[in-house]
Copies of this chain bind each other. A is one copy, B any other.
């Protein structure tokens, strides 16, 4: 039912490009789109982009120049810096992908156009209030099953499309260490809505979202250089986005499309980055599960600022890092609003805040 949107509706955000094969492999699918590359390392190094791609590239110096003191909210020497790209984009949709993710093949051997599937996911409604056992009821050949309330069949707007990975699964360091040889070879041919009230681990490797609906909540936090934690950038964004989507009556889908994740990152390095997160998430997840946002929070920005306040108050007790993170969340929203002055459209989510 959905068609791939025109070039002027979607930007592709890439945290860095260490591998020239990456863009060459995606060329048939990406060439018609605009790329935003946010260089995650040393700004003096240059990233080479093959001919034929339309792109803009930001390094740390650019970020500092554009955001001034507010640049403090953007992570340095970590792929979490990609969220700067979400902020400077002017398009409705964002697709973000890591440079070790290649084109996967479906069971028939055909190349998967991940971007096209993400757009289909975003253009079809979500169904967070009741589970449909035949999965996405809007897909060709499927529908709502017997016993699905008719009042819920309209669904709600989809804000996030979370894609999966063949080959190297997205495991934490302990699981990587325990199962070094595990590969994901199972192509599960489905897309489903994550039900209201349920949190999920959102991975930033292969992710698309509607900036107009959820953009300001897609903050990847403070990771990397000078921070006590890494590899929780996308998780943080996922927890925040899910709670806000539930509050505003928006949907999140997961499943198709698959990309081919070519290479596992070093589990020893990962363990060093993750160990605080592995410990802290045991408190952070119940915190998000129990979070209530007030009726007054009728926009993503208002929700996010209210959330920052609760992070400060409740997670600040775990570690001073969360006080700093809460401040950065507010700075992020200020920077977002400065670069994206409110329009009529951005108030659109407001009337959804009833459920």
Residues of A within 8 A of B (CB): 107, 130-135, 141-151, 162, 164, 169-172, 174-175, 179, 182-190, 194-203, 231-232, 234-235, 238, 254, 274, 278, 281-282, 285
Measured CA separation A134–B232 after assembly (Å): 18
Q: Which residues of B lie under 8 Å from residue A143 when comparing CB positions?
A: 169, 171, 175, 179, 182
Kindly provide the distance from the CB of A75 to the nearest chain B CB, expressed in whole angstroms: 17
Measured CA separation A184–B139 after assembly (Å): 11
Contact of A147 among B107, B164, B235 (CB under 8 A): B235
Taken together, the copies of this chain in the complex come to 2
Q: Which of chain B's residues has its CB closest to A239's CB?
A: B147
- A285 in contact with B141 given A198-B198, A232-B147 (CB within 8 Å): no
Q: Which of chain B's residues has its CB closest to A178's CB?
A: B143
A150 adjacent to B278 (CB under 8 Å):
yes
A164 adjacent to B281 (CB under 8 Å):
no
B131 adjacent to A199 (CB under 8 Å):
yes
Measured CA separation A271–B194 after assembly (Å): 31
Q: Which residues of B lie under 8 Å from residue A135 when comparing CB positions?
A: 188
Q: Which residues of B lie under 8 Å from residue A197 when comparing CB positions?
A: 195-198
Kindly provide the distance from the CB of A273 to the nearest chain B CB, expressed in whole angstroms: 11
A131 adjacent to B175 (CB under 8 Å):
no
Kindly provide the distance from the CB of A167 to the nearest chain B CB, expressed in whole angstroms: 12
Q: Which of chain B's residues has its CB closest to A153's CB?
A: B175
Measured CA separation A282–B150 after assembly (Å): 8
Q: Which of chain B's residues has its CB closest to A147's CB?
A: B201
